[in-house]
């Protein structure tokens, strides 16, 4: 059982929904980023999504793009991202970490070596947004064999014909993108999300977590109430972009986590 599976089993036993938080590794610098990540479990974060900086993040809006640029400017790389995870693991061996990003840095690192290094660093799952199911032999299947969950995105445009393909080799959880478009583009609406979550859950036993467009504790609660949990990224990253210190950022995160946990 992976840390992700164990976390969902724990939450289910407690009758709680999951709160997942995203930050870009190395934004605005390595030490600040590590401090925020280290503080997340105490702020109520159940699963940490660690963004892998990349020069051409096609699925992301301006907030995440700029975070990636800040991280790259501060010298962040795939190796340093894994180092950040290793530093976190010195004090926390239970909170799941999902590495989220694009395939190019992984390909450049070399898939076999990346999987060894990611596992050694304490990474539990991968979300690679530009690798469709047709490319599963490239990374998804090797990752599963290495003991890493491969988490797939489903979107409002993933119809009933496409959905089984998307779910085929997915593990850990399904990440449902609540809006059509890039990160940070619009607000999520629970009324729109609920039937889509039900449609996905009719075809899988995996938890369905909803992200994109969640910026307030109220929305976090509303979305978590119709799914297995909520993901917040851009709203947290915005706080770092505004210059908020880790304490302020984590106070904001705690409000979002409390929202999801009260669903």
Catalytic residue selected from 5, 27, 46, 49: 49
Angle at 40 between CA 47 and CA 221, to 5 degrees: 65
Mean of the per-residue pLDDT values of the chain: 95
The rounded percent of the chain whose pLDDT value lies above 90 is 90
Alpha-carbon distance 107 to 149, whole Å?
A: 18
Catalytic site includes residue 92: no
Predicted structure pTM score: 0.96
What's the pLDDT tens digit per position in 221-244?
Answer: 999 999 999 999 999 999 999 999
Alpha-carbon distance 236 to 164, whole Å?
A: 32
What's the pLDDT tens digit per position in 91-148?
Answer: 999 999 999 999 999 999 999 999 999 999 999 999 999 999 999 999 999 999 999 9
Catalytic residue selected from 46, 60, 124, 228: 60
Residues near 248 by beta carbon (within 8 Å), at least 6 away in sequence = 239
* Predicted pLDDT at 98: 98
Alpha-carbon distance 82 to 64, whole Å?
A: 19
Catalytic site includes residue 49: yes
Angle at 71 between CA 69 and CA 74, to 5 degrees: 110
Whole-number CA gyration radius for the chain? 17
Alpha-carbon distance 230 to 212, whole Å?
A: 9
């Amino acid at each position: 059982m992976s840390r992700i599976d164990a976390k969902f089993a724990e939450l289910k036993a407690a009758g709680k929904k999951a709160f997942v938080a995203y930050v870009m590794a190395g934004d605005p610098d390595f030490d600040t980023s590590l401090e925020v990540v280290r503080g997340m479990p105490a702020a109520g974060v159940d699963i940490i999504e660690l963004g892998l900086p990349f020069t051409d993040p096609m699925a992301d809006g301006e907030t995440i793009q700029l975070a990636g640029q800040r991280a790259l400017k501060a010298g962040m790389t795939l190796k340093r991202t894994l180092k950040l995870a290793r530093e976190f693991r010195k004090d926390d061996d239970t909170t799941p970490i999902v590495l989220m990003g694009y395939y190019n840095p992984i390909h450049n690192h070399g898939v076999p070596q990346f999987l060894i290094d990611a596992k050694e660093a304490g990474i539990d799952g991968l979300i690679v947004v530009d690798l469709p199911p047709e490319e599963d032999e490239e990374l998804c299947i090797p990752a599963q064999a290495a003991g890493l969950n491969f988490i797939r995105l489903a979107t409002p445009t993933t119809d009933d014909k496409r959905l089984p393909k998307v779910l085929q080799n997915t593990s850990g959880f399904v990440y449902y993108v609540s809006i059509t478009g890039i990160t940070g583009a619009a607000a999520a609406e629970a009324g729109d999300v609920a039937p889509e979550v039900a449609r996905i859950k009719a075809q899988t036993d995996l938890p369905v977590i909803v992200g994109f467009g969640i910026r307030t504790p109220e929305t976090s609660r509303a979305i978590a109430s119709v799914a297995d949990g909520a993901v917040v990224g851009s709203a947290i990253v915005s706080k770092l972009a505004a210059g908020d210190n880790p304490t302020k950022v984590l106070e904001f995160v705690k409000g979002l986590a409390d929202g999801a946990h009260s669903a």
